Each structure stands twice: as structure tokens, then as C-alpha cells.
Structure 1
Amino acid sequence: MINAQLNPERLKLARLRRKMTYIALAKATGLSSKSVAEYEKYESLFSPTPQTVALLAEKLNYPESFFYGDDIDCVSPSSVSFRSTKSLKAADQHAAEAAATLGLLINEYFENHFNLPASNLPNYRDFEPEAAAEAIREEWGLGVKSISNMIHLLEVNGIRVFSLAENTLDVDAFSFWKNNTAYIFLNTQKTGERSRFDAAHELGHLLLHRHGTPQGKDLEEEADEFASALLMPRRAIIATKMGFPTLDGIIALKGNWKVSAVALIVRMKNVGILSEWQYRTLMVEATRKGLRVSEINGVERERSMIIEKILNALKKDNVSLYDISKKLSLPVEELSNLLFRFALLQGGTGGFQSSTKTKPTLRLV
């Protein structure tokens, strides 16, 4: 049911997504900042006219229909943990949180039409990171083999993965639980190796920190330890001990686990097969060659298989990305940015037809 007047929550969401303050939006629209602030209050005594809503929609680049929709189940800021909080600007954080809320809208739409994989995530709150990594490998039947695709592994175990097209590396990745469903958002600007590590890091948060912060624990350090142990199992790394470790040898070896050279050096040191001197020497050389921000012989950045399967299935029913954006009253670029920058699907202008068919079940193979 469409509301007869502007929904304040949706106006706030669009404004935050566009990284605009009250003052910035007021300046763009010619309204007063006080008016803009009032429009975002549920208890406000006045609402904007349809002409004003149209103006707000134009400046925020959102469909007018978006602002008349029902209340949105927003992501709680307290449930999302960002890694670089000291350098992270408030506008960037709020925009990312708004993107997460849009992800919830999209996921709800997908779940209404497809049977998606159920959550298969144990609670490892009291586990040490290394033990948790070994436990989840056993739980998911991975043994000590290399994880070929982190995103596919997450999705098949019920985690919803979306992309972030944020123009800042300060928002690298984040995760949260919502109604017993886990979500991970990954920045598309990272290298393939670092994106895989980010995905493993966020999985660590979901497994270790679901029910709050353990007393005296460093959450980010724990998640890093978990990611390192998950991607590079101790037994497998120890088996690669080099007599005379070189950076070229590290670069040749890192492809086995699809990790960065720096991550492999750190892991080899932590499992005890590099001396302190060897570690420092390798890190100095890696830094000199720019391997802290880029890779030699890098891997391709991973994408969502679930989203690809969904969009392909919808395309067969003549439902395009434009149709989905119309159904959700979202800009098509928001969908594209959250769905791993898929090419816009062509064809089909109608929405879903009413049907009694059973929802198709998506499977990852």
C-alpha cells in the first residue's frame, strides 16, 4: 500500500545514501534546512506538498514513488561494525549503512520469489579464532584444501553477499545479522585477494561476535586471525616451509590459497616457519615493491553466484533490472552497485505475473 504522504524515514535514507546534510539538501532544493529537518520527523506538524516531494526526489536522484512507500526495516547502526572507525567520515559510514538497508529491501524481494539457501552458521563466540577457523572448515567439509571462491562458500551457507561501490577504501567491508540472516557487504575497489580476506574477516565477525563483544577482546584482531587461519590452514602452510624463503617464492606460492603476498608472509611467520629476521626482510621487500596495496599475478575479483542465478532466472521471465528497480522504487544504479555491477539486463518492462507456482530453489554447484 502506497502512503498518501511522504515517508520521513525514506527521505532520511535517500539523503544519507547521497551523503547530503540538511544544509546541502536545502541548498540544492532552495528549501530551508529547518524544513528539510522537519520533513524527516514522524511527529512533524506539516508535510511537504507533492511538488516539494518531486523536487526532493529530483535532487536526490530517487524515484518519487520511493518517498511514498511503507516504512523500511532499517539496519541498526549498532549492529554494524566498521574497521577504520578513526579515519571513517560520518557521511561515508551513514551512506554505507543506508546501502545495507537497501540490501535488505533487495533480499526481501529475492526471497519472495526464490527459495534461497538457509543459514548454516554455528555460534563460535567462546572459540579462539584459529579453533573457530578449523571448526568451520570441518563443519562445511573443507578439510585443508584451498577455498576456490569465498563468496560462493558464504552464499551456499546462507549468507547474503552484496557489493559496495563506495568511493572510499575506508569502508572496505562490513557484516551484520538481521532476523537470523547474515549479511556481508564488500567494497568493489579492493584487489581480488584483499576482497577474499575481507569476506573471511567478516565471516569471523558473524561466527565469533554475533551476540556482542566478548569481554577484553579485540574484535578486529580476532577477525583477522580467523580470516588468516581460514584461508591458509596451519597444516597446509607448515607443509610449505622453505629452506631459503624469497619474495619470488612467496609470490609463486600465494596463488595456492588466492591470498596476498603480505598475508601469506604474515601467516608463515605466525605459524613459525619464518624467523623474525626472515619476516622483516620479506616485508621490507614487499613494501618496496608496492605489495601492500597491489599484487603481482593477482586473482580475479569474485562475484556473487546467487545474484547471477537470480538475475538470469528473472531474465527468462522477461523481468529486467529496470523492472526490479521500478518494483522497489529504487534507482537502477543503486541496484547495479549492490549487485556486483552486473550489466543491466535488457528486455521486459512488466513485473512479476501472479502465479501459484512454487518458488524456484537456487542451488550452488
Structure 2
Amino acid sequence: MLTPSRLKLARHRRGLTREQLSKLASITTRSLLAYENGTQRPSPDNLDRLADALDMPTAFLQGGDVDEIPVEAISFRALSKITAGKRDMARSAGRIALMLAQWIDQRRALPRPDVPNLVGADPEKAAETLRNRWELPAGGIDCMINLLEGRGVRVFCVAMDCHEVDAYSFVWNATPFVFLNTTKTAERTRFDAAHELGHLVLHAGSRPARGPQTEREADRFAGALLMPGASILASGLRNASAQHIIASRNRWQVSAMALAHRLHELSLLTDWGYRAVCIDLARLGYRSGEPGGIAPEHSQVVMDALQTTRPDTSLVAQAAHDLHLTVGELEKYIRGLLPEGSFATHRRTPPSRPTLTLLP
């Protein structure tokens, strides 16, 4: 028996309209609407057609009812640049990641959420308050993903087929979630993680975290968190050149552009000096990339989960079986958070085939 909410979730996950799914599954749009409204049940043959068209196991479409994540609950970066279809695709991907998160929670004791609510606070002051509360050392932060996970924030990848979507975050059942686009440079991913933490601290539970003003506030929070004012002021970077900024950026593990912006924000670069530095950095390739940058960060939570599963299978294979999803689907939410080659070493090893030896 089909679960209407799961059909709608799967359709959104694949970025399909009813008309598009109708063509793929050879089912009328009228029938699809009836299936999603729960006023009609598909035949076994139509159910299989839907599963094939959606690249989902039939059992997924027959699971328990699921609640959608409300659009207003999610803080999307650059929402105005995302089509409604891409937004729903990312939102439904986030809902499936919630299933994976619950599956992991049932098997591992994870930290309870500890993200303060500082709605209305000045972003610079909020970052300082958070650093004091979490007892962070002066200077840069070693690993943003580990920092978030250690404070009860669940971190996942933005699904690879949602690459147009930047990072986003939301709170679900009192648990904060952050989704990172790991196709970007490690420096940009770290800044995105701090930016989304800014939304959770400054905007969660208040007005919808969207619009230019909230984005600017989250950016200011991220800059102050990753590059504390006292540390920057003591660095000797007043009127720094582009080459000096490039040589200093790894001290805080940020992009050269982000460090230049922070120096300007703290009046260590004049308006003219900031423009000149940005032109030089762009000419050297630092606007679109980060030559000679830092290594990507990894999720300790997912890595630990991989190490504590049964030796004959992987976390992903177990979770896919239990959640009625494909291994390929679940990999999209964690692959970018693991070291290169992790999936190759943790996949089920097929049994070796016996060899035939001819005796004389």
C-alpha cells in the first residue's frame, strides 16, 4: 500500500513535476494527484512503475508517513537564485538525511545540542559570546565540522545532485542541522559552516532566516567566529598586501578573500587598499579558487559510525537496508565528509569465487 507523503517526498527528491513523473511512469497526472492526496491506491504494477521512475525501492514508498520540512524552517543561502524545484529537491533531500540521522542516533550516543539562542544580538558580540561559552582558544578554529558535531549539531552534505544549492540549516525536533556543499574549497566550506551556525544562533526560532540583512548578519558572525578581532588586530596585518594576506590566511584556515574582507571590516585596510587587494587576489586566482589551500575537513561522527558497524558490511549498506533506500542515495549525504577512499574500504567484500584445479 502506497504512503502518499512518501510519494510526494520521492517526487520532490528527484526534482520532478507530476507531469514529468506521469511521462516517466506512464501513469496519468490525474492518478498521480489522487495517489498523493490519498484518495486512490495504485495497482501493484503502477506502484512498481513509480518506484522505477523515482529510482526508489518499492518498500520506501510503502513506509510510515513522513512530515515535510516547512520551507520557512530552512535557512537557504542565496534563496532568490534557487528555483522552486531545486529548493524542494534540496528540502526533500534534507528530510531523507533526517532519517539517516535518526538511524545513527539510535546506534551512537551523540552530544546533546548546545547552540545558544542569541536572537537580536550584534553578530560580532554573538560570536564572542559563543566562543566564551564553548571555551574556544584564542585564534583560529581547528575543525569547524568537529566543532559543530561536538556541540550536537548534525552535519551532512548537500546532495550532489543539488549542487546549485549552497549550504543551508534548520532545527528539527530541537536538533540543529547543517548541510554543506562539499564541492567547494575547504576554506569556503568552513566559512559556510560558520555562516550556518550564525543563522542557528542569530535567527533560529525568530523571523525566517532569509533576505540580504540576515545573510549579512550570518556573514559577519562567521568572520568574527573564524577570525576573532583580538587575534586579527595582533597579527600585524595593517595595510597588508595581497601576498602578505596569502601567506597569512592558513593561520585562521580561511580564504584569502575572507581574510581581506575581515581586515577591511576591522579598519586594518582602507577602502582603497581593500579594492586594490581584491583586484590583486582575483588576478592571482583567489576569487574563484584557493590555490595551495588547506585539506578538506571530515566528520568524526560518520567516521566513527563506519568503524563500529559489523565487519561484513558498511554503515551505508546497513542504513540503506533499514531505511529502504539505495546505497547510492545515502552516499550523497556523507561522501564529501569522509576521507578519499572510505567507501572503497568499507563496502561489503564479495566472496571470492572458487577456482577449479585440474589434477593430472
Q: TM-score, normalised by structure 1?
A: 0.89
Residues 88, 197 of structure 1: alpha-carbon distance in 2 compared, 3 angstrom cutoff: same
Residue in 1 that maps onto 2:347: 346
Equivalent residue for 2:232, pick from 237, 242, 264: 237
Aligned-residue offset at 1:340 = 2.8
TM-superposition CA deviations, 1:301-332 (whole Å, max 9, x none) = 22211011012111448554222201100121
Deviation larger for 125-134 or 284-293: 284-293
Residues 93, 124 of structure 1: alpha-carbon distance in 2 compared, 3 angstrom cutoff: same
* 3-state SS, counterpart of residue 185 of structure 1: strand
Aligned-residue offset at 1:244 = 5.2
| 1:151 has 2:145 as partner | yes
Are the counterparts in 2 of residues 172 and 190 from structure 1 also a CA contact under 8 Å?
no
Q: Which runs of 5+ in 2 are unaligned?
A: 337-341, 351-360
Aligned-residue offset at 1:242 = 3.4
Q: Which runs of 5+ in 1 are unaligned?
A: 350-365
Equivalent residue for 2:111, pick from 96, 113, 117: 117
TM-superposition CA deviations, 1:85-114 (whole Å, max 9, x none) = 221111111111011101111111111121
> Partners of 1:318 and 1:330 in 2: how far apart?
16
| 1:56 has 2:57 as partner | no
Residue in 1 that maps onto 2:13: 17
Aligned-residue offset at 1:74 = 2.8
| 1:273 has 2:268 as partner | yes
* 3-state SS, counterpart of residue 157 of structure 2: strand
Are the counterparts in 2 of residues 303 and 340 from structure 1 also a CA contact under 8 Å?
no
Are the counterparts in 2 of residues 163 and 186 from structure 1 also a CA contact under 8 Å?
yes
* 3-state SS, counterpart of residue 86 of structure 1: helix
| 1:331 has 2:326 as partner | yes
Aligned-residue offset at 1:180 = 0.8
* 3-state SS, counterpart of residue 272 of structure 1: coil
Corresponding residue pairs, total: 343
TM-superposition CA deviations, 1:184-232 (whole Å, max 9, x none) = 0011211110100000000001111112129999211100000000000
Aligned-residue offset at 1:165 = 3.0
TM-superposition CA deviations, 1:211-265 (whole Å, max 9, x none) = 2129999211100000000000001111123365221111110011111111000
Q: Percent identity over the alignment?
A: 37
Residue in 1 that maps onto 2:357: none
Task: Report the residue type matching 1:9 in the other structure.
Answer: S
Q: Could you say what the CA RMSD is over the residues aligned between the two structures, in angstroms?
A: 2.0
Are the counterparts in 1 of residues 260 and 278 from structure 2 also a CA contact under 8 Å?
yes
TM-superposition CA deviations, 1:25-69 (whole Å, max 9, x none) = 111111112222221113x1x210111111110111110100110
Pairs within 5 Å for 1:33-112: 33-42=29-38, 44=39, 46-112=40-106
| 1:162 has 2:174 as partner | no
> Partners of 2:269 and 2:91 in 1: how far apart?
40
Q: TM-score, normalised by structure 2?
A: 0.90
* 3-state SS, counterpart of residue 309 of structure 2: helix
Residues 264, 243 of structure 1: alpha-carbon distance in 2 compared, 3 angstrom cutoff: closer
* 3-state SS, counterpart of residue 300 of structure 1: coil
| 1:6 has 2:7 as partner | no
Are the counterparts in 1 of residues 89 and 162 from structure 2 also a CA contact under 8 Å?
no
Are the counterparts in 1 of residues 312 and 348 from structure 2 also a CA contact under 8 Å?
no
Equivalent residue for 1:210, pick from 191, 197, 204: 204
